[in-house]
Amino acid sequence: MASEHRGELGGVIETHDASKDARREIHESLQQALADFGKYQFNTVVAACMKMMNTLGKVDGEGAKALRNEGLSILLRLLSPIAPHISHALWQELGYGDDILTAAWPAVDEAALVKDSIELVVQVNGKVRSQINVAANADKDSIEEAALADEKVQSFIDGKTIRKIIVVPGRLVNVVAN
């Protein structure tokens, strides 16, 4: 991957959904890796780095160069204590500077961790029937509205009286009907 992307430094990370999701995954992996470093769990640090590489491999589109640049920079700095020689060689190959040892330790961007939307499970009479995507800050009424508007849910409540709608924020919606 390094030789393919030599000289691609810079750029602006696009704000479309795919790049936001990829950037969030990178920073979630970074957050996990930093916590694992503190607990001396280096095997899970390497696992987080592998997860980062998988995410970077899927990145494509307008903001790909900048996102790949940020991701590879984070990845190499994370790997430098574990695999110093290859990290140093790749750091120079990608043009980040002379010495990875002088680079700042990566920090988690809290803004990148914020989710714009969440997926909720929708149950009808206690059985999973569908899933819906709603805004992360959606109120109870809009979640209920979205659940009742779902086609799959409609097919299960057609002709029935809705007795109760139970919303567990961030988790599920249960429609009780008979």
Q: Which of the listed residues 86, 113, 140 is the one where a domain comes to its end?
A: 113
In terms of pTM, does the model score above 0.75?
Answer: no
Does 59 lie in the same domain as 20? yes
Question: Residue 80 belongs to what domain range?
Answer: 3-113
Beta carbons of 93 and 2 less than 8 angstroms apart? yes
Task: State which of 90, 113, 136 marks the end of a domain.
Answer: 113
CATH of the domain at 144: 3.10.20.590
Q: Please, are residues 73 and 95 in contact by the beta-carbon 8 Å criterion?
A: no
Confidence of residue 33 (pLDDT cuts 50, 70, 90): very high
Mark whether 164 and 82 lie in a shared domain.
Answer: no
Q: What is the DSSP string of 94-114?
A: TTS-S-GGGSPPP---GGGG-
φ, ψ of residue 135 in degrees (nearest 5): -60, 145
Rounded Cα gap, residues 15 and 71, in angstroms = 16
Report yes or no: 19 and 63 within 8 Å, Cβ to Cβ: yes
| 83 and 144 housed in the same domain | no
The domain spanning residue 76 has which CATH number? 1.10.730.10
What's the pLDDT tens digit per position in 101-127? 999 999 999 988 888 888 999 999 999
